Amino acid sequence: MAQSEKAEEILEKPHLTEEQAGQLVERLYGLKVKSVKPLDSYYDMNFYVTVDGPAPWAHGYTLKVTNGTESKNEDLIEAQNKMMAFLADRGFPVPRVVPNLQGRDMSLEQLLKNENVSYSHNIVRLLTYLPGTVYHNVPVTHHLAYEAGAFLAKVQKALRDFSHPALHRPDFVWSLRYVPSLEKHLHCLKEDPHVDIIREIIQAFREKVLPRMDDLQQGVMHGDFNEQNVLVEEDPVTPSEYRVCGLLDYGGIIVDPYIFDLAIALMYFMSVVLKDPFSFGGQLVAGYESVRALTPAEWDVLYYCVAARALQSYVLGHYTASLHPENTEYLMFTAGSVWKFIELWWGTPKEEIYKQWRNIQNN
């Protein structure tokens, strides 16, 4: 999902037909297009492209046409490209950017808008397409949750040697640092019966997490490690199990506390598990700690960070629906499932969850 830098920004989705997408690929990359298929994307436009003749990548390509608002931030998109190249060079299964005929990783293209009377300017990229199935679409097991946690920690560890000035994003609405500012969007929840709990979680984050920021290890992180952005494949050693085989969507990359990255992953991965989500969260943490042990300060704040991320998803989902009423059905469905998780998580004492997780690690 495209992620606006500021909540009040309205991201204008590009308009491109499959035929136009194919023409872009042929003109910019010199490839003979065989087929073009639209891919799900919220504010951008993505297409799965296959080509005729010899091609350096057998699995096809993803044409990414960035929304007009984010296309103005070329430095951030450059950072995304460089991070993908950095991880790919170190053996991580991530997309690679394909240079265009001018040898550039991206180009700013003038595209007709939907009404065909004005133009938008959109950054266009071609990425290698990664085969696999999104984590959300396979049976969730403890083994896979453990794998995902270990993979996240390995990515964080590798990114210690990566830097880019565009990754310092003080106003990024999806950073957990932004959580106290959610209060200014609560007007979108006028008749919501949960407002008191929302304010309680925001205040807990303000009191329990923000004063500890200097105690939390920070660095470059993916920022959106969720069940839709992680690809998996059948494990050749254990065919009944899956293993991680890809990481997508670099729109949330940022310099922030590492524990925020883990909290984001935990919230998303647990919220899609209907039965006993905390045990799957414990496996994810165990996998993570098999690579990088959490510090006492990180353990202290993790519980509140998980709740805060869920709250971000819920509140900003409602706020975005007020800006884009055409997407209300999708956004409210997502928000409904997130609230069920918030009630379960916030209604369970921190010590009880941590005790269960320690037992998982000890066993």
Active site residues: 224
97: left (phi over 0), alpha (psi -120 to 50) or beta: beta
Residue 12, amino acid: E
How much of the chain is in helix, strand and coil states, percent to nearest 5? 50, 15, 35
The DSSP code for 225 is -
Assigned token pair, 2: 């495209």
- The residues facing 214 across adjacent strands are none
Q: Which residue has the tokens 């959580």?
A: 179
**360 vs 363: CA distance, rounded Å:** 5
Q: What is the CA radius of gyration of the chain?
A: 21
Burial class from Cβ neighbours inside 10 Å (0-12, 13-18, 19+) for residue 263 reads buried
232 Cβ contact list (under 8 Å, min separation 6) = 132, 133, 134, 135, 138, 144, 242, 243, 244, 245
Which is nearest to 163 in space by CA: 253, 252, 92? 253
Helices then strands, counting H and E runs in the chain, come out as 9, 10
Element (H, E) at 37: strand 33-39
Sheet of 133-134: strand order equals: 133-134, 230-234, 242-247
**Residue 53 CB coordination number (10 Å):** 7
In single-letter form, the type of residue at position 71 comes to: S
**Cα–Cα distance between 140 and 30 in angstroms, integer?**
41
- Reading the block at residue 38, the tokens are 């639209």
Quick one: tokens of 270? Answer: 């647990």
Find all residues with CB under 8 Å of 196, minimum gap 6, and list them: none
